[in-house]
Amino acid sequence: MSRDDVILVGVDGSLPSLFALEWAAGEAGRRGWGLHLVCAYSLPSSTAASLDGGYAALDDTVIQEGAQAVLAEAAERVEGRGFAVTTKVHAGDAAGVLVDLSHEARMVVVGTRGRGGFADRLLGTVSSALPAHAHCPTVVVPLRDADGNPVPDDAELPPARPVRRIVAGMDGSDAAARALDYAITEASAWGADLTAVAGVPIGSMTGVLAWLPSSVDHEQVLADLQEGLNVAVDRALVDHPDVTVKRHALDGTGAELLTEFSVATDLIVVGSRGRGGFAGLLLGSTSQAVLHHAQCPVMVVTNRCEPVREGAQSA
């Protein structure tokens, strides 16, 4: 199936979703892609009881009009910036709608909080439905203040930062390798610095794993990890001689390290298996933790995402 050069953006009228829209607009402008703004709604599961004991069908006209108004306001914010903007209201679960539409898009972008909309679906009880099932990378854009706290809904919308620093998490998996490919194309498109990070929790291994010899050579463990990281990065850079990647093998878990890096980074890129069925509703522990705690946007790339298409990384 061919993909359009379009970024899907989930919009629900909340400040976080508008901040995600601003981030997506920056990406679209840099890539020469368009934006397709989507507002999804679901009718309440209960119906309104009528006076005669029956049930009155809910008229969703008002809800649709509200969704259209949300999209019109969002489209107005980003029009005239040099890329195409389209909008559409969908009836249905927000995450499910975006998953279906992700078959034909390059990327899907959502915020981290909302009023019962995309962000609640993303980081709620079934917290990984969208990034685990999407067929293109999912970028989750948090709206936090300098101290890492959520910004209140009545605050002024801050500008989205350009992508100047990117960190990709590496763990030797196929999903991580695919995520690195996407991180490289982002770095190429933005002219950004890219760092690949691999972690192993050496400091806690001897205390947790009784069978691990106390004489384990920590430096050798890190050296072996660094060697594997170098091999993976060198392989990914074969077709991208314009990109330089810094490599760090560090003591610590992937989630801890990436969360720490997110404080001084503009984009974290992480891979996850994104399996089907019930298991697919849950991302791995690393990507899940990073989504919840990162201070900067996080791109989740699963094996459902197509390999990077040559020539598609920038305009």
The per-residue pLDDT string of the chain (315 residues; one tens digit each, 9 = 90 and over) reads 358 899 999 998 888 889 999 999 999 999 999 999 999 887 765 544 444 554 455 567 888 899 999 999 999 999 999 999 999 999 988 888 999 999 999 999 998 763 444 444 444 332 357 888 889 999 999 887 766 677 777 788 888 999 999 999 998 888 899 999 999 999 999 999 999 999 988 765 544 444 455 556 778 888 999 999 999 999 999 989 889 999 999 998 888 999 999 999 999 999 987 444 333 334 567 787 888 888 999 999 988 898 886 545 444
Instruction: Give the count of beta carbons closer than 10 Å to the beta carbon of residue 62.
Output: 9
Cα–Cα distance measured from residue 310 to residue 307, given in angstroms and rounded to the nearest whole number: 9
pLDDT in tens, 2-45: 588 999 999 988 888 899 999 999 999 999 999 999 998 877 65
Q: What is the pLDDT of residue 125?
A: 33
Tens digit of each residue's pLDDT (9 = 90 or more) over 191-223 = 999 999 999 887 655 444 444 555 567 788 889
Domains and CATH numbers, the chain: 1-44+62-147 (3.40.50.620), 161-315 (3.40.50.620)
Question: What was the pLDDT predicted at 51?
Answer: 46
Q: How many CB atoms lie within 10 A of CB 76?
A: 10
DSSP of 32-86, one letter per residue?
Answer: T-EEEEEEEE---SS-EEPTTSSEEPPP-HHHHHHHHHHHHHHHHHHTTSSS-EE
> What pLDDT is recorded for position 1?
39
pLDDT at 127: 38
Q: What is the pLDDT of residue 219?
A: 84
* Structure-block tokens of residue 69: 């108004």
151 by Cβ neighbours in 10 Å (0-12 / 13-18 / 19+) ranks as middle
CA gap 253, 75 in Å, rounded: 40
Give the integer Cα–Cα distance in Å for 170 and 251: 13
Q: Measuring CA to CA, how many Å separate 298 from each of 46, 285, 294, 295?
A: 36, 14, 7, 9
Q: Is the pTM of this model over 0.75?
A: yes
Q: What is the pLDDT of residue 95?
A: 84
Tell me, what's the pLDDT at 2?
A: 56
Taken in order 209, 213, 219, 223, the sign of the CA dihedral is negative
List the alpha helices (DSSP H) in 154-217: 174-190, 202-208
Full 3-state SS string of 103-159: HHCCEEEEECCCCCCHHHHHHCCCCCHHHHHCCCCEEEECCECCCCCECCCCCCCCC
